[in-house]
Amino acid sequence: MLPPLKFIIPKPKSLLYPKVISSTGDRIRVKRLDLKLSQDQVADLFGVCTETVMKWELNRTKPAADYYFAIEKFLNRSLSIDK
Protein backbone atom coordinates (compact mmCIF):
# COMPACT_ATOMS: atom_id res chain seq x y z
CA MET A 1 0.00 0.00 0.00
CA LEU A 2 1.32 3.43 -0.93
CA PRO A 3 1.63 6.22 1.65
CA PRO A 4 -0.78 9.13 1.26
CA LEU A 5 0.35 11.93 -1.02
CA LYS A 6 1.46 15.17 0.55
CA PHE A 7 1.04 18.33 -1.47
CA ILE A 8 3.42 21.11 -0.63
CA ILE A 9 1.95 24.42 -1.65
CA PRO A 10 4.12 27.48 -1.08
CA LYS A 11 2.66 30.05 1.24
CA PRO A 12 1.60 33.13 -0.73
CA LYS A 13 3.56 36.32 -0.19
CA SER A 14 2.03 39.01 1.96
CA LEU A 15 -0.23 41.57 0.30
CA LEU A 16 2.43 44.13 1.24
CA TYR A 17 4.58 42.91 -1.64
CA PRO A 18 4.16 44.68 -5.00
CA LYS A 19 2.19 42.70 -7.57
CA VAL A 20 4.69 43.56 -10.28
CA ILE A 21 8.33 44.38 -9.60
CA SER A 22 9.30 46.97 -12.18
CA SER A 23 11.07 49.83 -10.42
CA THR A 24 13.85 50.49 -7.96
CA GLY A 25 11.22 51.36 -5.35
CA ASP A 26 9.55 47.97 -5.85
CA ARG A 27 12.90 46.21 -5.44
CA ILE A 28 13.67 48.15 -2.26
CA ARG A 29 10.26 47.21 -0.82
CA VAL A 30 10.67 43.49 -1.64
CA LYS A 31 14.17 43.37 -0.14
CA ARG A 32 13.02 45.25 2.96
CA LEU A 33 10.09 42.88 3.49
CA ASP A 34 12.26 39.81 2.85
CA LEU A 35 14.71 41.04 5.51
CA LYS A 36 11.82 41.94 7.86
CA LEU A 37 13.05 45.51 8.19
CA SER A 38 10.93 48.58 8.84
CA GLN A 39 10.99 51.65 6.65
CA ASP A 40 12.69 53.44 9.58
CA GLN A 41 15.52 50.91 9.58
CA VAL A 42 16.02 51.18 5.83
CA ALA A 43 15.93 54.97 6.05
CA ASP A 44 18.71 54.82 8.65
CA LEU A 45 20.79 52.61 6.33
CA PHE A 46 20.53 55.18 3.53
CA GLY A 47 20.72 58.28 5.71
CA VAL A 48 17.30 59.56 4.62
CA CYS A 49 14.01 60.13 6.41
CA THR A 50 11.31 57.46 6.58
CA GLU A 51 9.05 59.48 4.30
CA THR A 52 11.69 59.29 1.55
CA VAL A 53 11.75 55.48 1.69
CA MET A 54 7.95 55.44 1.67
CA LYS A 55 7.88 57.64 -1.46
CA TRP A 56 10.45 55.41 -3.19
CA GLU A 57 8.45 52.27 -2.39
CA LEU A 58 5.20 53.83 -3.60
CA ASN A 59 6.95 55.06 -6.76
CA ARG A 60 6.05 58.66 -6.00
CA THR A 61 9.71 59.69 -6.33
CA LYS A 62 12.87 58.02 -7.59
CA PRO A 63 16.06 57.82 -5.55
CA ALA A 64 18.62 60.48 -6.37
CA ALA A 65 21.83 59.29 -8.03
CA ASP A 66 23.66 60.04 -4.76
CA TYR A 67 21.97 57.02 -3.16
CA TYR A 68 22.49 54.51 -5.99
CA PHE A 69 25.69 53.01 -4.58
CA ALA A 70 24.05 52.38 -1.17
CA ILE A 71 20.90 51.00 -2.82
CA GLU A 72 22.94 48.70 -5.09
CA LYS A 73 24.75 47.37 -2.03
CA PHE A 74 21.44 46.86 -0.19
CA LEU A 75 19.88 45.05 -3.15
CA ASN A 76 23.07 43.13 -4.05
CA ARG A 77 22.65 44.15 -7.68
CA SER A 78 23.50 46.96 -10.06
CA LEU A 79 20.78 49.42 -10.94
CA SER A 80 19.78 50.67 -14.32
CA ILE A 81 18.34 54.15 -14.44
CA ASP A 82 14.55 53.97 -14.10
CA LYS A 83 12.74 55.53 -17.03
Report yes or no on 55 lying in a domain: yes
- Percent of the chain residues topping a pLDDT of 70: 94
pLDDT confidence bin for 83, thresholds 50/70/90: very low
Instruction: Among 40-44, 73-77, 78-82, name the one with the lowest average pLDDT.
Output: 78-82
- The count of structural domains within the chain is 1
Report yes or no on 11 lying in a domain: no
Report yes or no on 60 lying in a domain: yes
| C-beta of residue 48 within 8 angstroms of C-beta of residue 59 | no
Report yes or no on 18 lying in a domain: no
**CATH number for 41:** 1.10.260.40
Q: What's the CA dihedral at 67, 73, 75, 81 to 10 degrees?
A: 40
Domain holding 35, by residue range, is 24-75
DSSP string covering the chain: -PPPP----PPPPPTTS-SS--SHHHHHHHHHHHTT--HHHHHHHHTS-HHHHHHHHTTSS---GGGHHHHHHHHTS--PPP-
pLDDT tens for each residue of 24-53? 999 999 999 999 999 999 999 999 999 999
